[in-house]
Chain A
Amino acid sequence: AQRVTQPEKLLSVFKGAPVELKCNYSYSGSPELFWYVQYSRQRLQLLLRHISRESIKGFTADLNKGETSFHLKKPFAQEEDSAMYYCALSGSGGSYIPTFGRGTSLIVHP
């Protein structure tokens, strides 16, 4: 069975501080990993996926197969980064049906 664990329900940082949102997964195979974000009063949207290796809004995430982790990082947090972040996993082969973690609420204080 595939599972995504986000150990922190809430992460609170000050503007300009580094941010790391943790995500660990369980999957017997080669998964595809994603980060979704939901800003206040907006709909859930894809932030980034590991296969594209992009940096979106200053965020990056590296897939560590040894540690089965896909942590989301940003060197300098901004107030507009405050949102709910969900890590998600889908099976290999192109299926985009994600299994979501429970989410981490990021609050960036001025």
Chain B
Amino acid sequence: DAGVTQSPTHLIKTRGQQVTLRCSPKSGHDTVSWYQQALGQGPQFIFQYYEEEERQRGNFPDRFSGHQFPNYSSELNVNALLLGDSALYLCASSLGVNHEQYFGPGTRLTVT
């Protein structure tokens, strides 16, 4: 089991563009959470998906949206990119919403 996988590893986008990040959960897990980690900061919770629905959401604008597929994988979409969206985006999976989360390696997004 490769654990939680994320793609791409890193990417560079221009301000105003849109980006999609992908996450495959650990085998057997059905819940996916997304975090943003700015340089020098701890991860900040964006939202959590379970049963293909957004279950909880952190303090992020509507430009951040997501999706969960029937195979439990997930996408994070960010529209109208701002320079401040540059960060490491972490995906974490768990078995149910109230259990330990396992983190992926992250996707490094740079907005220029």
B45–A98 touching, CB < 8 Å: yes
Report B-chain residues with C-beta under 8 Å of the C-beta of A44: 43, 90, 103
A43 within 8 A of B: yes
B101 within 8 A of A: yes
A31 within 8 A of B: no
- Would you give the shortest CB distance from B38 to chain A, in whole angstroms? 10
**Once bound together, how far apart are the Cα atoms of A101 and B44, in whole Å?**
9
**Once bound together, how far apart are the Cα atoms of A96 and B40, in whole Å?**
23
B104–A86 touching, CB < 8 Å: no
Residues of B64-109 whose CB lies within 8 A of A = 90, 94, 97-106
- Would you give the shortest CB distance from B109 to chain A, in whole angstroms? 17
Q: Is the interface of A mostly helix, strand, loop or mixed?
A: loop
- Would you give the shortest CB distance from A52 to chain B, in whole angstroms? 10
B33–A97 touching, CB < 8 Å: yes
A64 within 8 A of B: no
Kindly name the residue among B42, B44, B97 whose own CB sees the greatest number of chain A CB atoms within 10 A: B42
How many residues on the B side are at the interface (Cβ–Cβ under 8 A)?
Answer: 24
A94–B98 touching, CB < 8 Å: yes
B42–A97 touching, CB < 8 Å: no
A100 within 8 A of B: yes
Binary CB contact string for chain A from 6 to 28 against chain B (1 if under 8 A, 0 otherwise):
00010000000000000000000
**Once bound together, how far apart are the Cα atoms of A88 and B45, in whole Å?**
12
- Would you give the shortest CB distance from B93 to chain A, in whole angstroms? 11
Residues of A52-110 whose CB lies within 8 A of B = 86, 88, 94-103
Closest B residue, CB atoms, query A94:
B98
Closest A residue, CB atoms, query B98:
A94
B98–A100 touching, CB < 8 Å: no
A95–B97 touching, CB < 8 Å: yes
B27 within 8 A of A: no
- Would you give the shortest CB distance from B97 to chain A, in whole angstroms? 7
**Once bound together, how far apart are the Cα atoms of A7 and B4, in whole Å?**
31
B100–A46 touching, CB < 8 Å: yes
User: B-contacting residues of A (Cβ < 8 Å)?
Assistant: 4, 9, 43-46, 86, 88, 94-103
